Structures are given as structure tokens and as C-alpha cells.
Structure 1
Amino acid sequence: MPTAMENITTKGAFFQHLNQKNQYKQPARECMFRTMTKLQDMETSEHRPGMLLGKIQSGKTRTFIGVMGLAYDNGFDMVVLLTKGTNALVKQTYARLQEEFEPLIEHDAIRVYDIMTMPDNLRKYETSQKLALIVKKETNNLDRLREAFQEKYPQWKDKRVLFIDDEADFASVAYEYKREQNVKHMRVIASKINHFREVLHRSAFLQVTATPYSLYLQPEDMTIHEGKVFEPIRPAFTELVPVHDRYIGGNVYFDKSEIEGHLASYFFHEVEEKELEVMKKMDGRRVKMDRLLNQKNIANIRKAIVNFIVGACIRRYQQRAKGRREQKYSFIIHTERGKSAHAWQAELIQGFERLLTEAARNETDDFCELIKESYHDLIRSVRTLKKTPAPKFDEVYKEVRYSLDEEYMVSSIVNSEKDVNELLDYKGELQLRAPMNIFIGGQILDRGVTIHNLIGFFYGRNPKSFQQDTVLQHSRMYGARPVADLAVTRFYTTAKIYQVMKRIHEFDRELRRAFERGGHHRGVVFIQRDSGDSILPCSPNKILLSSLTMLKPHKRMLPVGFQTGYKTHIHKTVREIDCIVEQVQRKAVESKEGAVLIPLSVAKQLLKLVHQTLEMEEGYDFQLDEYEGVLNYLSSQSDEGAYVWLFIRHKRQIRRFKKDGKYENSPDTPGKGTGELTLARKVAQTFPALIMLRQEGKKEHGWRGSPFWWPVLVAQAEMSPTVYANKSVQ
């Protein structure tokens, strides 16, 4: 048995109850044992807490409750559980602990309290039991916790207390920048938590998070301001929560979605920016409430609603066909924070429901066409699952009509504590009132409240205001998801937001790998480009997440989502590229696998000329300064000079769109193991590679009838994972 068990009790009543109830698998148990052992053996403090690092919706709560059980069995008297700042989550957490420890509570072995409703006159009999205090990370909650320890029950200072800071990135490690004062302020909540930690005599600290960026996005040094001192928090240890085999995360939504024909390749539906504008406020000039079923400028929200209805009907039909209980499903609309926008969106959804119900009863042509279009969209992904029955159109059509006639759909606005609490069930989870539930809201929807059976997400928050941890928490479709539900799942947002979220997923993935390689003290480099065109190391808290690029060995970068300029406009520039290419091939002093080694300056010149010939579509970009900055950095990593391997290919006939209607994004992989990308990665060891593909650009392939060059940049093998910030926070 691992040494992690040698110094702790694993057969105590608390953990044995939890283990029997939850049937923990071996990797999960070992993670709990290691965490408890380190909390026992290592000195954790307010500045050096332990960290339990999991993925979003991957079982972190389940794991830290297991650690709580071990703590009670190993000499800890109390657990103070710090939660995110919503009453809904406090209620959900309280219900969860009551359920997990139910028989032990009945036998007076433990008491669970919400700090705000805890009695003021606890007796010795009660305080002699193990205690679990749930404390919202909010100033009144923290004041009441301080009052309990310092005034009402001062003897608690001598108790052995384990702090578990759930979603530690949210408030515990938090700075804000005051431009007018030119100082960093520790936010009030973080300050109160930090101050309270100093009161206790025997305590241990465990942070639980899926987004550990607070470790990176802190000042490196102690901050002193207005007499207050705060040192950066650096974990004493990090334990990774095992990911179960049913987990669906960013690797599916953003990595596997690139595989044509894969189930995940059907998830993303692009929404135009102007449609998000329609969603902001009521405008009778833009939206005619009696024409919602055929008006063009709301095509995607209409498609989203119909797909949700049809998707839920498909799943319920499949469940009924297998003799299983029919499930209820949910859909989120999260585009704005303002309540007026939510009210307008609710009116819009109710308008859709009213017209769809009327059209279903009359079986209009518009209705039939909408259901048919949705069916053909969803059935493509349903058919990728060989063991799941794919219902016929007539069966689904009948199901949809019945669902609308029987009012199976309900929409709810969720934008305040009152609204959330009214919608919660007895477990503190958002209850699904009907078979099809649409939730319209803002930030409160992403703060940990459980939303079951989510198969649709219409997202439109401004990427300029994105924060790393917030964006990933918005990804409510992460978690344990039945694969049959995934087949009818769709994600609606703009191309711009999708690309930002994809970049953030890559950032998350590489930071996590840095932990796995040996911790958070090494493994990832942060750099930025300065005004003088130099590449400099930068402070992580200076990066602007919407402009970052995650670089790693053999990562490729290429423009996607573009049309060429007209032939008369770009012909001269294309010929100039042709001439440079011919010249460097003739004068090459070193070649390998068909590639020639060229100076960095020539590679940048080629990219600059290519940039002049391409016209990017809305939501897609080809930022020349970003590509030049990345090339500068990559080519500077070798001691042999600033060079780039250049691969040239002519007479390529890549189509503009793939079979599924998405923009082509793999012009460098015409055959498995034989494409230019394979060769480039073989050659790019100490220097990066630039693949230049001369396309024919035929009109029948979706182009404008002019040849053009398509560049692909490939990072070399010998480099450290790097976060390149093309723009920084000022």
C-alpha cells in the first residue's frame, strides 16, 4: 500500500461511512490519502496552503468531502468550508453535507452549520462534536465567523481546524488594480480571510480549485499598502483530482471538435455579432414578434430553441424506447448581465414558444421546415453512436408536436438571489420544472449552482472582459455527461468568442500539464512583445487573455476563416511571393526533407506579403504582429542564429469549406503521415518551420479564382511551453 497511508488513519468511522456510501475508486482514495498525509506532515499556512486541483465539474466536491472525513478521523475538530458568494451555493453545499454525513449527524457525531444561521448559544455538548461551518466568501459571513471565534467561543481558537477554500481562485487570492492610485489592492474579502487565518493556533489550509491561475496572476513580492501586508500565496503541495471516465471537458469541445465526422465536430454553431446586438434590448424595428419563425436576423437563436426542443424529444424518445425513465433537459442563454436584457430575452423565448405551439397545431409549412432542418442537424451526431437508436423524422416530428401542445417547455429568468432561491430544489440545485427548461440569466448562473442535463448553451459575453477562471466556469456543459446527451448537445456563440475560449482552454491545458510535470514553480514561460518589437518576459498578471497564444513544441498556427482578395488586387503581391520563394530555394545553403533554412527576416517578409492578400471573415483574425512576435520568439531560442525552416508546395487545390460547412483548417495534412505538417514537425527541432502552400484558388472551390499562398507556422520541438501575450493590460 502507498506510503501515503502510513501516517494516517484510514479505517475511522467518518471515512469508512463515506467510502461505503460513495464507493470511491482506488485513484480517488489514494488522492484523498495523499492529501490528508501532506496536511498532517507538512506545515500549511495562510501563505503556503495545500492545493487540491481538479477539472471543472470533475468531482472536486466529492473528493474534498472525502478529505473532510479523513480529517475528522485524524484529529481535526472542525472544518471551515469557504464557498463562493451566493446563497444558492451555500444552500446546495449545506444540503450536500447533510446528505453525506446523515447517519453521523443522527448519532450526534457531527454538526453542520451555515455560519449565518448557526445558533448564538451553542452548548458544550454541541461544540464537543465535530463541526462543519459553511461560510460564504462575503464580508458579513466572514465577520460572523470572526465573531464566533473571538467573542462567543474563544476556546475554538485552540481547536484543530481545517480550512477548505472551495473555488479558491474566486476570492481568496484576489487583487484589483487602481489606475488612479497606481497600486495593487487586496480585495476586501481576501483581506478578511487572510486576517482571520492569523487568529487560529492549530490549523491547516486546503484550497480546492479547477482554475489555478491565481497562483500565476499574483504579484511576485509582498504587497504593502495603507499599513496592510499581504504575501503572495504559493501552495505547499498540489494534488491532482483523478478524472473519471465519464468526464467531458475542453478536450472534447475544442480539441476533438477539430476531427471531421467526430461527435464533437457538430457541437459549435456560429452566431453573427449582429444577432447578439438583437439580444441586448427590445427594438421593434429589428424584431417583429409575429414573424419570429422566419425572420432572418434572429436565425440562430431560433435554431437554438428548435434544436433544444428537438434534441430533448430525441433523447426522451430513445429513453422510452429502451424502457427507461424519460429525463428533463435544460438550455442556458447567457449573453448579457443586465436585467432589462434578460426580460427582453424572456419575452422573445415566450414569443417563440407561442408561435411554435400555434404552428405545431396547424402543421404549417414553416413549422415542418424548422423541425426538419433541426432533425437533419442533430441526427448527424446521433448516428455517430452505433448503440443508440436514431429515431425517424416522422417519430420525432410527432414527439415535438405533442410536447409543444402539452406545454413541455418553460423558461425562467435567473438574475438575482431571490430568483435563484425560488428555482432551487431541496438539495439547493436548480430544479427542472418541465421536460424542457430554458434558463435566461447572467453571472449568477455560473457560480457553482448545479444545472442538470444541459444540452444547449447560447453564449455571448464580451471577450474583452474575459477573466480566465470566470470563462471556464461559464462552461457549464463540462462534467459527467452521457454520450447520448452529447449527441444532441449544441453550443452557440460567435466565432470570435469561440476562438478566445479555445485559446483559454489551451492555456488551461498547458498550465495543468506544468503541474503534472513537477509543479507550478517551473514549466511555463510568460512573454510579451514590447513597443520596440522585442520579446520580453512579462508578469502573468499583465496578460490580456483575449490576445494570448499558447505555444508548445510542434504547435501549429495558421489563418482560418478567410477569403482571398480579388485577382486584380492581389496578383502583383502573389507574384512577389513567388519570386522570393524561387530565390531562396535557389540560394539555399542548407536543406533537409525538402525544406530550406532561411533567415527570420525573409520568413517575416513572406508573412507580411501573404497578410496583404487575405480578407478575414467576421470573428476570425490573422494578426500580423502576433505571428511576427511568435516567430521572433521561436527563432531566438536557438544559439545557432535566427532561422526558420521553409517548406514550399505548389498547385494545391484545397476547398474553402469542409463537407460539414466549416472553414477548412487543415491545408497541411492531405494524407495521414505523409502531409507537410508531418515533415515539418520532423525537421523543426531547434528552429521553427514555415509551410507555404500555393493554392490554385478556384471559384468552384469557394475562392475568387486567383492563386494565393496559405502559410502554416510550426513551433520547434526544443522549446518550453510558453504563453505569448500579444497585448498586455495597461
Structure 2
Amino acid sequence: MHTAGVTSLKTNGTFFPPLIQKNNYKTEEIQVMQNTVSKLLDTSTTSKKPGMLLGHIQSGKTRSFLGSMGLGFDNGFDVVIILTKNSNALVKQTFERVESEFTECIEEDELAIYDIMKMPVKLRKFELKKKLVIVLKKEKKNMQRLERLLFDMYPDLTARKMLFIDDEADFASVAYDNVKDKNIIDLKVIAGQIDQIRARLENAAYLQVTATPYSLYLQPDDMTTHEHKAFQPKRPAFTELVPVHDKYVGGEMYFEKSKEEAHMASYLYHEIQEEELEILRKSDKRKVKVNHLLHGERYEGIRSALIHFIVGSKIRNIQQQKEGERLEKYAFIMHTITTKAAHQWQEEVMLHMEEQLRDAMEKEDPIFDQVIRTAYQDFARSQRKDMYFPAFDEVLSDVRDALIEEELLIEIVNSEQDVDHLLDKSGELKLRTPLNFFIGGQILDRGITIKNLIGFYYGRNPQKFQQDTVLQHSRMYGARPLADMAVTRFYTTRRIYDVMEQMHEFDTELRRAFESGANSGEVTFIQKDSDNTILPCNPNKILLSSVQMLKPGKRMLPSGFQTIAKSYLEREMKKIDKHVATMKQTAKAIHPKDDRCFLVEKEKVQNLLEMIYQTYVFKEGYEWDLETFGAVMNYLSEDTDTNRKGHVWVVLRQNRNMARIRKSTGRFEDAPDTKQDELKIAQNLARIIPSLILIRQNGAEEQGWRGGAFYWPVLVTPEETKTTVFAGKGVKER
């Protein structure tokens, strides 16, 4: 078969056809594999300028690179070196996956696969003539072993055509200045070792496989001081995009569909409090009253997580039984901190909670029925209409049986030494019982596959992690049946959820810019300096948890706030109403068809926003970053050469009655604007400068407010906005 402009490939060889038959690859997947191998054969690739196989997190990248590997064997490659993340468990999983995929070729003595830590002392010529796969984790000593293997023990291998596959690549080929993080320092050393090995090889190619390519695409080739604000994604020698399969669940479900009223995704997220995370991070029996775990408000999040997990699993088992399907085992991950002492404390808390749940059941304490019913009713709201949903008594009976038969296993997963105990024959995390509650450590960071995940309790500090790490930690993404999603719940603080939502948006927009060629394939990086000057920003130093991703038509607004006391609010609103009236009277332009839309100087709008800010009270995790909000508005209003420069369209609406909290989900309202009215108008006006929707809410007490009117602003970015990463809170130093 021939692809235009690239090498013609042999597709009917020994290795590739069995993979197609075994995996039922789709046409678009095969095309990506063919393109990848063709480009590896035609293009010079190195760890600094690799070929790139780019997919989504947990979206089938391994499937794609194994197919590419098999096709590569049929087209001249003899040796494949697979570099995994620094995890024994991931090495084992990768080894067993390759062994499973190429079983026939191994049995026919066409291929041999080795874990570099378990290789035979002396390979014979017969063995060396086979196609070879060597799996090793990216660790300094392992790289030294590889160097000895290739150049000292079996130097004949260096003349054979070799392919390095860097799986779950992240920092490995990025050069950082002033690095302080030990892990990044180690990765720099490893990248150097890879380069040294490759430089001594006669014929080697380099392929990176990742879902988080920012460390590559966002780096300019010149790592010196940057004078320009736009960086072209040009470091990879080529990029092939892994097709997303139809069962994939990613950020769209958690952060976009979740905003749709009554959509099953709108019930996924359950907020937990920062105080609860602190309680679970360090053993303190003065703060944790083990006899109050089923009642205490301080443990509401983790209690809900455990009980929802049990109830959701039983609902799915009942549904499977009714459909004549096999009853699945299910998993839950709790990941808040890496220390073993914290994991032991969390295990102790969860075991106490299980014990109290069982005691309440045996004593027929009403609290047992109450907590099970609460979870059941929550799942009833998120059920698919085409699915059978069991009666409460049936679910309650199965939950009782599960507790009596000890179907719940609460297990710590943080020991590399216990990897053989932790993984099943396929290299996935072993599900020993019907209900597996895993308390996670480092091993859960590293891409280990876990089947049938329907619960996530996440509490790692996103301020300290890169984007790829945070999203991988929570293990939220991957192949998920929609029936399982109906009983899936995600627990984290609002602060972390907002960070992850920003990261999802960051990911989506960078992919869109890359795939579509938007902005000529460029992404703009800017920051606000201390004197309010907008400056170019080095993408190396951006703290990803503090960025705003600007794109055409984006809405920015405060949410989760309460108004100040009514008596004070009424006094402030008189000033604000007067300011709004003055803005309209002195407006540069009034919309000809709607006099509630008027064009004003950005300084007047900024003054208005500061006045509105004084009428709000904020709950922790819901603060409104007015400084960034204003800086973004200022930047967007100035980013034009037209006579609209320095102005903002204001779209005024009054006499609205939006509730503070949505009844359907219990979440704070974040859409006070009406799509077919003011939002549509604001988006039409915001062509080259931003619009500010200004909604005057009546603020009735029955709507959850304090009985006084207030203004709710929504900023809408212009249609001509280029994909921009705005580091409103500055940058971090490495």
C-alpha cells in the first residue's frame, strides 16, 4: 500500500496482519499506523526532534503504537526499545501487553521480548537473529544497562535498524533552565543518555507516544530569552493523531457536558471541602471521631464517596443480571497524597467507616437506610432512560449482602515491591473482590490500567504539578460504558475542579490550534506585569493551574458568591445604578436596534467591576480573580487597530430572578445569561472587542440571595480572538 508522498509499505508481512485480525483495527487507525511508520522511515528523528504519536489520555495510544511497531517489523525495523515511565508496574504491564499482542510471532521464534532487568546472561546468535523488543523504565541505571547491552555485550545489534518508543513521554526531551525539581533534573540526564546512545547507532528512529505534548509543542527551538509572544508548535519531526474510539470518555464529559441541565454528566462532580482533605492527610484522632464517621459533616465527602461506590456497583450488578450479562467487579481510587503514613491513616479511617456501616446495618440503625437511600436517589437522577433501574429495596438488599459477604476490599496501592501481587495476568491492577477501594500512591500516577473505575476521590495539590500529571493522577479518562458513567462520581475540592477544568480547556484549545492550523499554528503566551503592562511570556514558566485560555466567544464570570447584607447592598447599588446610567448617557455608541447595548471606554467598565466586586462575599474556592478578569478585558479591548480600540460593548439586562443554586444538581449557578437573548447579542457585538453582559438580578431570599438587587457581569471574548494563554497570576520560576 502507498500513501502519497511517503514510503510504500509492506502490509502483508509476518507481524502486522495478525494484529489487525486480533484487534479489529479500524481504517483510520491503520492509516495512522501506516503514516507513522512511513514517516519514521523517511524522516530523521531524535529525542530532541521525535516523531509524535499524539492521543488523548487513556484513549488507546498503546494499541496504536503496538500496531505501528508490528508494521515497522514488517518494513525493516529489527529492534524496538520501549521506554516506560519510572514504574516497575508499568514495565510489567507493557511487557505483558506486548507479549500478548505478539504471542504467535513469539511462539514461531520470529520475535523475542525482554525486560532489561530480567534478560538472560548470554543471548545466543539464534536468539539475536530474531526481531527483538526490550522494555525498560526511564531510569539512569537502566539506561546504563541498555548502553552496555548494545555496545559491549552485543555490538552487532548496533548495525540493525532500531526504533526507540518513548511511551507516556512528557519532559524527556525538554531543556529547562534553572531547574530545581529533582524529577525534571533526572529526566534531563536520561534525555542526555538517550541522545548519547542514539548518536552511536547507525540506523535508529525515535517515536514519542503521549497525550500531553505541551513540553514539546510549546517549546521554541531556541531556549534563550524569548522576544516574541507567539510560539509555533514545531519541535516534533512529525505528528500523527491517534483516533478517538467511540467508548472514550474524556474532559468533554466532565467539564462540558456536565454543564448541561439534567445530563447524566451534570451529576458526576461532588464537591469536597479543603478541611476534609487536611483531616485525611495526617493521622489525628483528636479531629477524627471514629464513632461519628456516618454522621459527622466533616467526613461528608469521603462518606458519600464510599457509599456511592457500593450502591453504584450494586445497581450495575443488578442491571447486568437482568440483561443476562456477567457481573462485573468495580474499582474506586482515592488519591490525595503520596506518603505511606497518610495512606495507612486513610485506610484506617475507611476501615472504621466500613465497620460502622456494617454495625448500623446489624443494629437496624435508621442511618443505614438513610445513607443508602441518599446515594440511590442521586443515581436515580443520572440514569439513562433506556436502562432498567432497580427498586430501592432490591438495591438495599444487595448492599446488605455485599457487606455481610465482605465484598468490599479497601487496599493500599503504593508499593513497587508488591507489583506482582497488585497486577493480574494482563498487567492490569487486580480486582480481587466485587468492590475494590484503592488508596493510591505513586504507582497510580504512572499509567497503570484499572478496569471498571466508577469512583475517584482526588486531592493532590495542583499548584505543584504539570498539566499531564494532574489529569493522569485522577484516572478519570478512558474507555467507559455510558451505563457505568451513570453511576460514576468524582470527588474533589472546587479549587482543584476549577484547575482541572482550566487544564481541559487548555488541552482542547491547543489541540484545536494544532489540528486545524488556527492562528497559523501559533499559540500566544502573555502575562500581566506588576504595572499592568501586557508582556510576552515564556511558556516554560507558566503555572498551568493559573492560566486563562482565551478563545473566540468564551464567557468569563464570577460564580459561587453571595451578596453582602441587604442594608449595605442597597446603599452600594444606588452608586452602581448611577454609574451604569452615566455610562449609557456618555456612551460612544448605542446599538440602533437595542438601546440597552452601548459602547463605553474600558476604564469606566473597570471602575464598574470594582464597585460590583465590593457587593460580593466569596466562599473559599469560589473567589473571583478581578485582577485577571480586568486584565483580560483590558487586553482584548486594546488588541485591535480599529476605532473601537480601548472600548467594551455593554449589554444591559434588568429584573432577572436567577437562583443562586441549581435545584437539579445542588451546584452554584454559573449561567445567568440567556443564550437566545443577551449572550447571542453579546457574541454578535464582540467581533473585534469584548462585550460585557451586565445582568441586574433582583436577589430574592427565596432564590438563595439576601433580598437585595445586584449586578452579575459576564465577559464575552471577541470572535477574532487568537488562541491565547493568559498567565494572569504571573509565572513560576523553575
TM over 0.5: yes
**Residue 658 of structure 1: aligned partner:** 662
User: Match for 2:666: what amino acid?
Assistant: G
> What's 2:704 paired with?
702
- Whether 1:152 aligns to 2:157 is no
Aligned partners of 1:638 and 1:354: how far apart in 2? 64
Report the equivalent of 2:714: 712
Q: How far, CA to CA, are the matches of 1:688 and 1:540 in structure 2?
A: 25
Quote the residue 2:229 is aligned against. Answer: none
Aligned-partner residue type, residue 660 of structure 2: R
> 1:162-202: per-residue Cα shift (whole Å, max 9, x none)?
11111111534364734699x99973222222222212111
Correspondence 1:133 to 2:137: no
Q: Counterparts of 2:409 and 2:186 in 1: how far apart (Å)?
A: 44
Which residue of structure 2 lines up, in the alignment, with residue 668 of structure 1? 673
Look up the match of 2:398.
399
1:651 deviates by 1.1
Alpha-carbon offset, residue 469 of structure 1: 1.1
Partners of 2:171 and 2:187 within 8 A in 1: no
Q: Shift of the alpha carbon at 1:623? A: 0.9
Aligned-partner Cα distance in 2 for 1:292–1:265: 27
Sort the Cα spacing of 1:95 and 1:475 in 2 relative to 1 into closer, same or farther, 3 A.
same
Partner of 2:570: 571
Cα distance, 1:169–1:300 mapped onto 2, change above 3 Å: same
> Does 1:690 pair with 2:689?
no
Instruction: Tell me the amino acid that sits aligned with residue 626 of structure 1.
Output: T
Partner of 1:589: 588
Distance 1:216 1:535, change over 3 A: farther
Letter in 2 for 1:440: I
Amino acid at match of 2:712: W
For the residues of structure 2 that align with 1:180 and 1:665, how far apart are their CA atoms?
Answer: 37
Query: 2:55 & 2:181 partners in 1: Cα distance?
Result: 37
Q: What RMSD in Å do the two structures reach over aligned CA positions?
A: 2.0
In the TM superposition, what is the alpha-carbon distance from 1:93 to its structure 2 partner? 0.7
**Which letter maps to 2:488?**
T
**What SS does structure 1 have at the residue aligned with 2:622?**
coil
Name 1:460's counterpart in structure 2.
459
Checking the alignment, whether the CA contact within 8 Å between 2:46 and 2:195 is kept in structure 1 is no
Identity of aligned residues (%): 52
Matches within 5 A, 1:531-680: 531-592=530-591, 594=594, 595-640=597-642, 641-659=645-663, 660-669=665-674, 672=675, 674-680=676-682
Cα offset, 1:567, TM superposition: 2.3
> Equivalents in 1 of 2:320, 2:583: separation in Å?
63
- Aligned pair in 2 of structure 1 residues 118, 184: CA closer, same or farther (>3 Å)? closer
Deviates more, 1:143-152 or 1:209-218: 209-218
Match of 1:165 in 2: 166
Tell me the CA shift for residue 443 of structure 1.
Answer: 2.7
Aligned partners of 2:164 and 2:207 also within 8 Å: yes
Q: What is the match of residue 263 of structure 2?
A: 262
The residue number in structure 2 matching 1:524 is: 523
Partner SS state of residue 690, structure 1 = strand
Task: Verify the 8 A CA contact 2:217 2:236 in the aligned structure 1.
Answer: no
1:455-506 deviation line (CA, Å, top 9, x unaligned): 0101111122131110121231211101010000000011111000100110
Corresponding residue SS for 1:675: helix
> CA offset at residue 690 of structure 1?
0.5
Deviations 1:437-460 (A, max 9, x none): 010022321211111100010111
Partner Cα distance (1:331, 1:72) in 2: 39
For the residues of structure 2 that align with 1:520 and 1:473, how far apart are their CA atoms? Answer: 29
For the 8 Å contact 1:645–1:690, the answer to whether it is kept is yes
Aligned AA (1:703): W
- 1:572-594 deviations in Å (ceiling 9; x for gaps): 33222211211121222323353
Code of the aligned partner of 2:589: E
Secondary structure of the residue that 1:13 maps to in structure 2?
coil
* CA-CA distance at 1:2 after TM superposition: 6.6
* Structural mapping, 1:17-36, within 5 Å: 17-36=18-37
Structure 1 segments of 4 or more deviating over 6 A? 183-186
C-alpha distance in 2, partners of 1:358/1:416? 32
Counterpart check, 1:100 vs 2:101: yes
Aligned 1:123-522 pairs, distance under 5 A: 123-173=124-174, 175=176, 177-178=178-179, 187-216=188-217, 218=219, 220-221=221-222, 234-382=235-383, 385-518=384-517, 522=521
After superposition, the Cα gap between the structure-2 partners of 1:513 and 1:472, relative to the gap in structure 1 and judged at 3 Å, is same
Q: Matched residues in 2 for 1:401 and 1:139: separation?
A: 51
Distance 1:520 1:450, change over 3 A: farther
1:118 corresponding residue in structure 2: 119
SS at match of 2:535: strand
Task: Give the match's secondary structure for 2:385.
Answer: coil
Amino acid of the residue matched to residue 605 of structure 1?
N
Residues 175, 185 of structure 1: 8 Å contact kept:
no
SS at match of 1:349: helix
Alpha-carbon distance in structure 2 between the residues aligned to 1:151 and 1:358: 65
Between stretches 193-202 and 325-334, larger displacement belongs to 193-202
Aligned 8 A contact 2:458 2:474 in 1: no
Q: In 2 relative to 1, CA 632–589 (structure 1 residues): closer, same or farther, beyond 3 Å?
A: closer
Structure 2 CA distance for partners of 1:693 and 1:348, relative to 1, 3 Å: same
Shift of 1:330: 0.4
Report if aligned partners of 1:238, 1:519 keep a CA contact under 8 Å in 2. Answer: no
How far has the Cα of 1:11 moved from its partner?
1.5
Aligned partner of residue 178 in structure 2, secondary structure: strand
Contact 2:335–2:474 under 8 Å retained in 1: no
Q: Is the 8 A contact 1:266 1:490 kept in 2?
A: yes
Question: Which letter maps to 2:619?
Answer: E
Post-superposition offset of 1:154: 1.3
Question: Deviation of residue 556 (structure 1)?
Answer: 0.5
Letter in 2 for 1:3: T
Q: What is the rounded CA distance, in whole Å, between the counterparts of 2:143 and 2:181 in structure 1?
A: 29
Judge conservation of contact 2:412–2:440 (CA < 8 Å) in 1: yes
1:419/1:247 Cα in 2 relative to 1: closer, same or farther (>3 Å)? same
Tell me: CA distance 1:233–1:118, structure 2 relative to 1, closer, same or farther (3 Å).
farther
What is the SS of the residue equivalent to 1:51? Answer: strand
Question: Is 1:331–1:455's contact at 8 Å kept on the other side of the alignment?
Answer: yes
Tell me the SS of whatever aligns to 1:116.
helix
CA contact (8 A) 1:174 1:186 kept: no
d(CA) in 2 for partners of 1:442 and 1:261? Answer: 35
Q: Deviations over 1:621-651 (max 9, x none)?
A: 2111101110121112111221111111111
Work out whether residues 638 and 646 of structure 2, in 8 Å CA contact, stay in contact via their aligned partners in 1: yes
- Opposite residue 652 of structure 1, the aligned amino acid is R
Amino acid at match of 1:494: T
Q: Given the two structures, how large is their TM-score scaled by the length of structure 1?
A: 0.95
> C-alpha distance in 2, partners of 1:614/1:223?
44
1:185-233 per-residue CA deviation (whole Å, 9 max, x = no partner) reads: 9732222222222121111111100000111454642589xxxxxxx99
SS in 2 for 1:81: strand
Alpha-carbon distance in structure 1 between the residues aligned to 2:60 and 2:402: 34
In 2 relative to 1, CA 185–359 (structure 1 residues): closer, same or farther, beyond 3 Å? closer
State the one-letter code of the partner of 1:647: V
Deviation at 1:434, TM superposition (A): 0.2
* Matched-pair contact (CA < 8 Å) for 1:459–1:492: yes
Paired AA for residue 608 in structure 1: E
**CA distance in structure 1 between the aligned counterparts of 2:294 and 2:367, rounded to whole angstroms:** 7
- Local SS of the residue matching 1:74: coil
Q: 1:521 to 1:430 in 2, by over 3 A?
A: farther
- Unpaired runs of at least 5, structure 2: 226-232
